[in-house]
Amino acid sequence: MTTKGRTLLNLSLILFITIASCAKQSAVFKVNFEPESIYSNRMEQVITTQISYNGSADFLNELRTQGITNPTISVDTLKIISEFVTGRLDTNGYFPVTTELKNIEGGLFNSLDFRFKAFGKSKKNEFPLFDSIQSNGIAKEQNQSILEMLKNSFSQINFPNNPLKVGETFEQETPLLIPFGDRPIELKIRTVYKLRQINGELAIFDIEQHIQLSEKYHNSPIIAMGEGKGFLYYDLEYFYVIELETETDMKMELNRGEFSVIVNQTTLAKQKTTMKRSE
């Protein structure tokens, strides 16, 4: 290689190292909605459940008499399309917001005309507040429950206030109610988010989930545990989550002495959000 060639190579290496060293290694994360924008969201959830029964011959024969197969395997799919629309910013820093359930498929929803549109307001860097709703196929007394559900859905991920560096983690704990027998079981999900890398305006997190039974069941015949993994893509330019995917395996067991019920469940959840400015 000529001297000129070696010089050009060395300059290229220096330039590459300089660019790499200047890449973002930390960022501030928050949930933000821009005025005069449309956020389109698609969510899909596939739950595969296997229920196994153990017990005496009389117990298992009674199951067969009732037409219950052992094990019982089911696959349930839920698809939701929704849209979140923001209006023009006013002089007080607020802008109107609407969120609409455009379509829902899966289970009982296939035979129901289930729709709603909620109205409220928001500020930048704040969660929206909804105060009214129009619904179809929903009892009026359930409208308040939907408004509360919407409030919780926009605050699912509580990012820390301080900047996160690549390799750092944060975690949060959320409750979960699972139908099991004649009453729901209360679980706790501890989710750990680790900032894997930052590529330009895209931040990528790895997700780990740890599921355990609530403390109040410590002396009960119920056992429940689970683990999950996934990833999250975050848009650093507009400050919102554009993609999230998790796969969770969970096991629950109820032991009554004369019989036991074991439930193994795998949940695959995918969510994507796209944003565009209103015309």
Q: What are the sequence ranges of the domains in the chain?
A: 26-277
* Beta-strand relationship, 37-55 and 169-180: unpaired
With 80 as the cut, is the pLDDT of residue 226 above it? Answer: yes
Q: How far is CA 13 from CA 16, 21, 25, 198, in A?
A: 5, 12, 21, 22
**DSSP classification of residue 141:** G
Alpha-carbon gap, residue 117 to 101, rounded angstroms: 6
- Residue burial 170-204, b: 16+ Cβ < 10 Å; e: rest: beeeeeeeeebeeeebebebebebbbeebeeeebb
d(CA 116, CA 101): 6
Q: Tell whether the model's pLDDT for residue 17 goes beyond 50.
A: no
Q: What per-residue confidence (pLDDT) applies to 180?
A: 66
Structure confidence at residue 248 (pLDDT): 95
pLDDT at 85 over 90: yes
What does the pLDDT average to over 152-157?
69
User: Model confidence over 163-222: pLDDT tens digits?
Assistant: 999 999 999 998 888 776 667 788 899 999 999 999 999 999 999 999 998 776 666 778
SS3 8: helix
**Given a cut of 90, is residue 36 above it in pLDDT?**
yes
Give the pLDDT confidence score for residue 199 in this predicted structure.
92
Q: Identity (one letter) of the amino acid at 192?
A: V
Confidence band, pLDDT 50/70/90 cuts, at residue 20: very low
Tell me the pLDDT tens digit for each residue of 233-271: 999 988 889 999 999 999 988 888 788 899 999 999 999
Distance CA 134, CA 171 (A): 35
What is residue 107's predicted lDDT score, i.e. its pLDDT? 66
Q: Provide mean pLDDT across the span 133-157.
A: 71
- The neighbouring-strand residues paired with 176 are 187
Q: DSSP readout, 228-258?
A: EEEEEEEETTTTEEEEEEEEEEEEEEEE-SS
Nearest residue to 236 via CA among 273, 203, 277, 271: 203
> What is residue 123's predicted lDDT score, i.e. its pLDDT?
87
Burial of 56 (0-12, 13-18, 19+ CB in 10 A): exposed
pLDDT category at 15 given cuts 50, 70, 90 is very low
> Residue 138 pLDDT more than 70?
no
Please tell me the distance from the alpha carbon of residue 230 to that of residue 238, in angstroms, as a whole number: 22
| Whole-number pLDDT of residue 217 | 66
Helix (H, G, I), strand (E, B), or coil: what is residue 150? helix
pLDDT tier for residue 125 given thresholds of 50, 70 and 90 = confident
In which band, very low, low, confident or very high, does the pLDDT at 8 lie, cut at 50, 70 and 90? very low
pTM: 0.82
